Amino acid sequence: MGAAGSSALGRLGLPAQPRPAWLGVAALGLAAVALGTVIWRQGRPRRRRRLQQVGTVSELWIYPVKSCKGVPVSEARCTAMGLCSGHLRDRFWLVIKEDGHMVTARQEPRLVLVSITCENDCLVFRAPGVDPLVLQSKLPSSNALHDCRIFGLDIKGRDCGDVAAQWFTNFLKTDAFRLVQFEKNMKGRESRDIHPAVVQNYQVAYPDCSPIMILSEASLADLNTRLEKKVKVDQFRPNVVVTGCDAFEEDTWDELLIGNVEMKKALSCPRCIMTTVDPDTGVIDRKEPLETLKSYRLCDPSEKQIYKSSPLFGVYYAVEKIGSLKVGDPVYLMVQ
């Protein structure tokens, strides 16, 4: 009889019945078994996923300013918001109009001619026909904050000053522009607001969709067999280029391990008119290679509500575990 039963007998004025000794032993035995089971389960190593090498990293790219030239790097840290190397962070700078709306090579194709290097803790911008612009990597907190708009979503940006604004205005010669910088303490754009098909929760600064975009050399080579004028990889602005796999094999990869960075597929990369900007001349063609991609890289009809009529080329990834990666790293598919 339990403690509740004994106390009830006492309230009735009846003597409590002694508890058989075997019950106490049995209870202790059950408790020990239960505790042992918990400890065993907690102590069991988590089921490891099998690693299957699907390729090797051949190139790493950081694009500090949205739509400007990329910077090839041999190694990089991978944060939740994308690749970084020294003061260079992927798409942490943005050209805007004075009303805060983003400006990209879709509207100003000559932006692709602007290169960025990091020299003595400064960012140096170079472009044809203008003197270099030298910008401190850390901006004064007294610089104005702008409310910026990227594909209809609000995000902040710290103004990079009048000299930078005049430099971009003088180079592009079409409007008044300003340059802003995203700071780590600012709130990024939420993945669920960027695209409803993305199931992961993450934030990005000024990229279109996700922190990382992956493309294979084989996919680019396949496209070039169909084009009269060949295109280079920087026309598609991937962060990670993979060699050693079949064309479009990256479409099938879900969870990846590169270096000690874990990534999970967020979305296939739908392509737009941006791909028709020649990165060497800054001239927008508005046709190729987009038209050719549309001829054979449209989505499955079941996904048309997601991608509509945009051809797919490359894959967006969310960062599941931050770390470092380098050129030459194996690319592993993590299999359950």
pLDDT digits (tens, 9 = 90+) for 36-61: 433 333 333 445 789 999 999 999 99
Structure letter (DSSP) for residue 199: -
Which residues, in sequence order, are CB contacts of 20 under 8 Å at separation 6+? none
Omega cis (within 30) before 72: no
Could you read off the pLDDT of 232-259 as tens digits, one per residue? 999 999 999 999 999 999 999 999 999 9
Model-level pTM?
Answer: 0.85
Q: Could you tell me which residue, 19 or 275, shows the higher pLDDT?
A: 275
| pLDDT for residue 35 is more than 70 | no
Please give the Cα distance from 171 to 194 (Å, whole number). Answer: 31
Terminal-to-terminal C-alpha distance of the chain: 49
Q: So what's the pLDDT on residue 48?
A: 75
DSSP-derived pairing of the beta strands 130-136 and 122-127: antiparallel
Banded pLDDT at 274 (limits 50, 70, 90): very high
CB distance 224 to 232 below 8 Å: no
- Find the DSSP H helices in the chain: 3-11, 21-43, 162-172, 191-194, 217-224, 290-296, 304-307
